[in-house]
Amino acid sequence: MIENNKESTSTVRVKSMIEQNRQRQSFRAVSEKAVPTVLLVIALISILTTIGIVFVLITETFEFFNRVSLVEFFTGTVLRPLSQDPKFGILPLINGTIISSAIAMFVAGPIGMMTAIYLSEYASDKARRVLKPVLELLAGIPTIVYGFFAFTFVTPFLRQFIPEMSATNILAPGLVMGVMIIPMIASLSEDAMSSVPNAMREGALALGSTKLEVTFKVIIPAAFSGIVAAFVLGISRAVGETMIVAIASGSSKNFTFDITQSMQTMTAYVVEVAGGDASPGSTIYYSLYAVAMTLFMFTLLMNILARYIARRFREEY
C-alpha cells in the first residue's frame, strides 16, 4: 500500500515537472516571437519621429513661403522680422553660423587631431588612461557654462588686445565652441587610429619609416573615414550649438565678416523667436520653421558630402 502511494506520488511529480517544462517552452516560444516585434516597434518609433519632424518642418515652411518670396529669403541681407516693414533675409544668419563654426573648427580641428595622434601613437598606456578621461571631462560641462565663460572672461580678455571689439561678438563664442568640440574630435579620431592593425605599423617601421612618417603616411590614411566622421560630427556640433552663441554673440542680425562684431546664428534666432512674442500663425512664427528647415538641409548636405569623401578615399586606399 505504501509502495503504491510512493509510486503515485512520484508519478504526479514527474507529470508536474513535464507540465512545468512545457509551460517554460511555451513561454520561450512566445517570447522569442515577441522580442523581434517589440524591437521593430522601438525602431519604428525613432523612424516615425524623424518623419514627423520633417513633415512638420516641410508643411510649416511651405506656409512661410506662401507669405515671403523664396528669392527674398535666400538672397536677402536684411533680417528685421519685428519692424513695421519686416524683412526676412536669411543670409545674416547663415553668415553668422558659418563664421562661428569656422572659428570653432579652426581651434578644434588641429588641436583635436594632434591630441588624437599623441594618444594613439606616442602616449604610453598609463598616460592614455589618465589623459583621455580628463580630456573627455570637457564634454560633460554644460554649454550654458561655456556661454557665460565666453561672455564674462574670453570677451573681456580679448578686448584688452582688440579694443574695438563689441561686448557681444562672434569671435569669443567661436573660440569657446572650439574648446568644447576638442574632446569629440580627439576621442573619435583616436578610436579610428587605434583600430588600425598593428601589422601596418610594424611593416612600415620595418621598411625604415620613422614614427612620424608611419603616422601621416600609413595610420591617418587608413583611419581617414573615421577621422572624417569625427570632423563632420564636430562641425555638426558647432552648427547646432545654441546656448554659447545665444549668450555671447548677441542678437544683432548683422551681415558682416567682421568677427569682432555681434552676429546671430540660425540656432540663436530659433531660440529668440521661440522664446519671444511671436504669436502662432504670424509670419515671424513661420520663419522659425523656415530657418530650422534651412539648418536641417545644411547639416544633411554636409553629412552626404562627408560620406562621399570618405567612400572615395576608402576606394583609393
Helix (H, G, I), strand (E, B) or coil at 40: helix
Q: How far is CA 188 from the centre of its chain?
A: 12
Global confidence as pTM: 0.81
pLDDT of residue 2: 47
Compute the distance between CA of residue 291 and CA of residue 16 in angstroms, rounded to an integer: 68
Distances 35 to 18, 107, 170 between C-alpha atoms, Å: 26, 46, 50
Contact 113, 185 (CB under 8 A): yes
Compute the distance between CA of residue 168 and CA of residue 140 in angstroms, rounded to an integer: 25
- Sign of the alpha-carbon dihedral angle for 150, 156, 159, 160: negative
Q: Are strands 87-88 and 79-80 parallel, antiparallel or unpaired?
A: antiparallel
Contact 88, 79 (CB under 8 A): yes
Q: How far is CA 310 from the centre of its chain?
A: 18
Compute the distance between CA of residue 295 and CA of residue 122 in angstroms, rounded to an integer: 39
Q: Which residues contact 262 (CB under 8 A, 6 or more apart)?
A: 166, 168, 169, 170, 249, 250, 251, 252, 254
Helix (H, G, I), strand (E, B) or coil at 97: helix
The tens-digit pLDDT sequence of the chain (317 residues) is 444 554 555 565 655 666 666 666 666 666 677 778 888 888 888 888 988 888 888 888 888 888 888 888 888 888 887 777 788 888 899 998 999 999 999 999 999 999 999 988 888 888 888 888 888 787 788 888 999 999 999 999 998 888 888 888 899 999 999 999 998 899 888 888 888 888 888 888 888 878 888 888 888 888 888 888 888 888 888 888 888 988 888 878 888 888 888 888 898 888 888 776 677 778 888 888 888 898 888 888 887 877 777 676 665 55
Give the number of other CB atoms < 10 A from CB of residue 221.
Answer: 15
Q: Which residues contact 81 (CB under 8 A, 6 or more apart)?
A: 87, 88, 273, 283, 284, 287
Residues 309, 315, 317: CA angle, nearest 5 degrees: 105
pLDDT of residue 187: 87
Residues 179, 188, 294: CA angle, nearest 5 degrees: 70
Q: Residue holding cell 578610436?
A: 191
Compute the distance between CA of residue 92 and CA of residue 70 in angstroms, rounded to an integer: 16
Q: How far is CA 135 from the centre of its chain?
A: 18
pLDDT of residue 176: 93
Q: Residue holding cell 535666400?
A: 74
Burial bucket for residue 303 (CB in 10 Å: 0-12, 13-18, 19+)? middle
pLDDT of residue 10: 58
β-pair partners for 79: 88
pLDDT of residue 276: 67
